[in-house]
Structures are given as C-alpha cells and as structure tokens.
Amino acid sequence: MKILIYFGIFLLLINKIQSKKQKNYTEIATDEEIEKISQELFELSDNNLLSQLSLNLQGHHKFYNSTEDLAPEPLLTLHDDFSESETMRFMQMLYDNYERNTLVEETVTEEEMSEERNFINALLQTEIMRRAMNFLESKSLVQNHPESHYCLLKKIWFDFYPRSKGKNATSSGFEHVFLAESKKKKLIGFHNWIYFAAMERDGALNYKGWENIIDLGDKAKIIKIKFDLDGMRKAVSSIFIGTSPELEFALYTICFKLRVNRNCSLIYDDVNFIIKTYSMIYNKKRFVASAFVMA
C-alpha cells in the first residue's frame, strides 16, 4: 500500500513539474502569438523565389523504410531568371568552410570568420529578421541593440559544440541544419533547399522520391523527401522549398527560443504546420542541435 501511495505522490509531482513548464512557455508567448508572427514573416517575404524554380516530385514513397529510387531526374530546376538574394550569396560562401564528418576537427581561418560575419550581418539587415528580433525583444529574449541580435545568432547557430560526449567541438546548428553532417558514416541534418539545389547541381546528390507535401501558396512548399548524398542515405528529410535564408532563420530562431524540444505551431494563409527544434547543452550554454519543418 505504501508503495502505491509513494508512486501516486511521484506522479503528482511529475505532473506538477510538467504543468509548470507548460505554463512558463505560454506565459512568455502564446501559441496564437507565435502563429501571428509566422504569418507576418511570410507576408514580409517578397523575393518570389518559388516562382523562379520548378519542382519535379516524381515517384511517391508510401513507407518510411522504402529505399527504392523512384526519381530518375533531379527534384529542383532553377529557371534562367532565378535571382539570388544577398543572403543566399553570402550563405553559399560558407559551404566549403566545414568538415562534414563530426569527428574531424574544424579549422577556422580569418577569411571564414569574415564570411560568417558578413552572412550574419546580411541576415540582420533584412526586414524579416528585424521583425523577428523585435518580436523576441518584446518577450525579453534579446536586448534592443544590434550587438545583442548578432550575438544571439552567432552563439546558437554558429558556435561549435561536440555532437558526441567526450569528443571535440566540431558541430554547429548552422552546419547541421543548412548544410549536412555525417556521424559514423551516416548522413544527419540537411534541412535546406538551397544546399539541396547546390548538391544536385554538383552531381553529389541523388533524389529518390517524396513522401508528403504541404502547399503554402505562392510563398513556399514543405516536402518530405528521400535522397543520397555522396553515397550516404538520408531515409527522410523535411525541408522548405522557395524560402529565403532570413525567413528560415527567423522561424527557426523564434521556435528555438520559445518552443525548444517541443512542437512549434505556425501558420500561413490558413495552413497550419509545425517546426521542431532541439537543443544541445555544452559548457552551460544552449545551442541549436537541430531545426526542421515537418511535412
């Protein structure tokens, strides 16, 4: 009987802790507030990238463990009139700055640090990122100062941490989400369409078909796809298509600060979707471990 009583008390304490965590999240920002800011950010996105590319979905996979190649042709084709934004150009300059293997030590040069600074500054100069930072300011999650905005992005996205216990700090949120990493010869991360297009163009990526798609009107699509990169299989990955770097950074950063390790419910044009962000704690600091949209 005593065991049952103690077990009941234990469950009550767990429920109380979980309720407190839930309350803390919603006290800072309600789900409705986060959905509202996501709608605003999409409305600010006027680069019209989606209309400048073609999406060739091809074969439809019905099961997660399916490995068959149902797509003989590439997924993405950029039109001749495709216009890269400044943030896209700066982001692509970072592609050769990282070691994909999480066990290989990263060597950072002065030139690479300069490229990183240029990209972060370019993000912060966009109207989308300014609005996102204003929203985080209103929740006391960042100070009303450009340096505070820069430091937030630099720390959670670009500072290095170890992806495995006892290993060197060789991973970052940016590399994991906007590029790709390999761990024990397995492909991990890879949640960005611009990097996907670059790898397809270079012949390093073999697209194998899709599982699901969400249409966000003329702004973007969300797709769940299968592919191989340099012979390494990605069983499934969900990515935006047609979004700018600043829009993805804004959405992911807001969700990371307000709904980390939980579903982050967003909306655009009456279509609901979810972003998931996960954190990594290293030296008592919290970094982006992963961030992706769900399809």
Residues marked active site are found at 176, 191, 234
Q: What's 157's DSSP letter?
A: I
What is the distance between the alpha carbons of residues 20 and 29, in angstroms, rounded to a whole number?
14
Q: Token pair 């979980």 is at which residue?
A: 18
Asked whether the beta carbons of 123 and 87 are under 8 A apart, the reply is: yes
Which phi and psi angles does 148 have, rounded to 5°?
-65, -40
Cβ partners under 8 Å of residue 283, min gap 6: 161
What is the distance between the alpha carbons of residues 252 and 35, in angstroms, rounded to a whole number?
13
What is the distance between the alpha carbons of residues 283 and 285, in angstroms, rounded to a whole number?
5
Asked whether the beta carbons of 208 and 14 are under 8 A apart, the reply is: no
Query: Shortest CA distance to 279 belongs to which of 184, 157, 140, 175?
Result: 157
